[in-house]
Structure 1
């Protein structure tokens, strides 16, 4: 029975690793302004490496290799660091990289330095033990593994802070399950380091379940990020910054920018640049479109790009790729995905519907 569980757990962990890599390939965006997708992809890649290396460390044969145990350590600190940044990009429409964000990778850097020290100085005996002992709390690698568990646990806190702000029940449930998965992974990892390695395997299996949930959400609910981000924006802008502004005239000017000047066709258009066109701060502009139009920034831009594309598809003979490039996308795949999401049709099927033979 234990051998059967071993095969099953190893298979689940490896499946989670490879699924993470496949998801990362699918998530990596073609539009360079989607920082959330970039960071989500990096989070998934780091999870993939963590799963694969973890399955080797917990293998009774391969896990005896000291080098494998050592170099697996820094990989445990990467997913929480990237996940922190992903969560920031997810919740902030005008998210920008800052030098202070490098602090998220400080634990990874310290761990990498410690591992390098162990190898260069050929640190003996206790360094080969991945488990943490209360009797000898700072000896060997166990303390570094325990630090990884605690570091990942801190990531759970901002997830649970977001949960009450989500209004739609199905998204609240899905996000809640994901938050619970993250909490269980961290707790099982810590318990496994102190008591028994079986809990470490259960932690990696739970990671696989969390990655599978990400796959389900991204495939089933295309609008999940926008919907949750809109809920967060409502809370964020509960105290308005639009007082004293002529909102209707600003909305008219915004509509003119889209309808007449086709500003959405600029591939490198950013929230800050569009706000500047309206003489607003990024916070004011974000509040304006979320509260008055009911769309986030990327949702608004894609809406106008797809409406523009629908007109070109029905009125011109340009190829789908030419239309995609014209309206502001930089490749056909991202255009097809956005078009399908908003119209439930592919560009080709939409053209056939508008221009039957």
Structure 2
């Protein structure tokens, strides 16, 4: 069994506890959408450092299952970076596609195999990870442990080098001091992860140990910078907002007129009734490109095209449900849904009740209806 390594435990443990205390302090600050993003990433950094402290200090040999259990959760860090990046770009309705859950799904499978191993085999495998030697089975474990690190490296690269170049453009829009700090931090993180991966692959414990230590150093540096520049997250958000504007398809467009015309087509012409209504056909009626209409709805109404359409349909359905001579199925077809089940799901999602419940006591849902109507009012 490996001996206890006090220095690893001290440096990494300090970094982990430091990040968790920092995250707790952030959670108590004034409410803002940026606060919870910072709390999430700082907390994840703290958990990761504590895991490194547990693994590299030798404690993991006393509880191998505790060593392995957090590994699948670490696969979420990369997709989280992608999700946050999409939000910075203004894609408020963006969601993680199923493809982003493939790594964590695959990363969870070895855990079940791990739980079935005896304690001696687990110790041998953990030693093989630290020493960089062993059979192909040992390499499978090493790849499993390296997975989250590779994921962070890949997603970080996608942010910087994706086709739109929004990440690199945002750097140029940042204040000079933030620009320099962000660039240095990014280079430092890439180097840390590269050294970390190299250490595990070639079996040089000193490499991935020093890399892990440097995470504590990076956390302290980011904390000190954020204290000296309290508006750092807001400045990052503003930089991406400038990128969005520079790449917007709506530049030069009369937004007030476009919104008014869109609202008129929905209310006066009742285009929502067309079950086959699609974004391109509606854009053509407005003399806009599909990209322009999509951005208009996404940015100014904070919803997707289908969500916008369903809000109109459900609001009209609320009126029709008060007419006792119409069945729910008839109303569903009349407002543009192709099935009763699709209508029921959309109604429940937007109104918080089933159509039947609303029909029996419509006055109880007046606030929900008013809030829904406000969502589709032109933002002039």
Q: TM-score interval w.r.t. the shorter chain?
A: 0.5 to 0.7
Is the 2:86–2:94 Cα contact (8 Å) retained in structure 1? no
Q: Which whole-Å CA distance do the structure 1 matches of 2:89 and 2:197 have between them?
A: 31
Aligned residues, how many? 250
Match of 2:147 in 1: 147
Distance 1:56 1:246, change over 3 A: closer
Distance 2:61 2:73 in 1: 16
Q: Contact 1:56–1:63 (CA<8 Å) still a contact in 2? A: no
Aligned-CA RMSD value: 3.6
DSSP-derived class of the 1:237 partner? helix
The 3 A distance-change label for structure 1 pair 246 and 190 is closer
Partner of 1:190: 197
Compare 238-247 and 50-59 and name the one that shifted more: 238-247
Counterparts of residues 209-224 of structure 1 (less than 5 Å): 209-224=217-232
1:322-333 pair list within 5 angstroms = none
Report if the CA contact (8 A) 2:6-2:57 is conserved.
Answer: no
C-alpha distance in 2 between matches for 1:189 and 1:219 = 29
Higher mean displacement: 105-114 or 18-27? 105-114
* 1:162-181 → structure 2 map (5 Å cutoff): 162-166=167-171, 167=173, 168-181=175-188
- Cα 1:105–1:209, aligned 2, differ >3 Å: closer, same or farther? farther
Render the CA deviation track for 1:90-133: whole Å, top value 9, x for unaligned: x2345246252x64444233222211222135594764332555
Tell me what 2:317 maps to: none
Q: Check whether the contact 1:163–1:176 (CA below 8 A) recurs between aligned residues.
A: no
Alpha-carbon distance between aligned partners in 2 of 1:164 and 1:242, rounded to the nearest angstrom: 18
1:41 and 1:85 mapped to 2: Cα distance? 15
Q: Is the 8 A contact 1:189 1:199 kept in 2?
A: yes
Return the offset for 1:30: 7.3
2:35 corresponding residue in structure 1? 37
8 Å CA contact 2:82, 2:155 repeated in 1: yes
Q: 2:129 aligns to what?
A: 130
Match of 2:250 in 1: 241
- Tell me the secondary structure at the aligned position of residue 241 of structure 1: coil
Change (3 A) 1:62 1:237: closer
After TM superposition, the structure 1 = structure 2 runs for residues 223-234 of structure 1, keeping only pairs within 5 Å, are: 223-234=231-242
**TM superposition score normalised by structure 2:** 0.55
Query: Are residues 1:206 and 2:214 paired?
Result: yes
- CA drift of 1:174 comes to 1.2
* Contact 2:72-2:108 at 8 Å conserved across structures: yes
1:92 aligns with 2:92: no
Partners of 1:43 and 1:106 lie apart in 2 by 21
- Offset of 1:14 from its aligned partner? 1.5
Structure 1: segments with no counterpart, 5+ residues: 251-279, 287-357
TM-score, structure 1 normalization: 0.58
Deviation at 1:243, TM superposition (A): 2.4
Q: Quick check: which has more Rg, 1 or 2?
A: 2
**1:48 and 2:46 matched:** yes
Please say if residues 75 and 148 of structure 2, whose CA atoms lie closer than 8 Å, have aligned partners that are also in contact: yes
Q: Kindly tell me: are residues 97 and 30 of structure 1, through their superposed partners in 2, closer, same or farther at Cα, counting changes over 3 Å?
A: farther
Whether contact under 8 Å (1:50, 1:75) holds in the other structure is no
Question: 2:160 maps to what in 1?
Answer: 160
Q: In 1, Cα distance between the equivalents of 2:91 and 2:28?
A: 17
Aligned partners of 1:198 and 1:173: how far apart in 2?
Answer: 29
Structure 1 partner of 2:110:
114
What whole-Å deviation, never above 9, does each CA across 1:187-231 have from its counterpart, x for those lacking one? 122012123112222122221122223312332223222323222
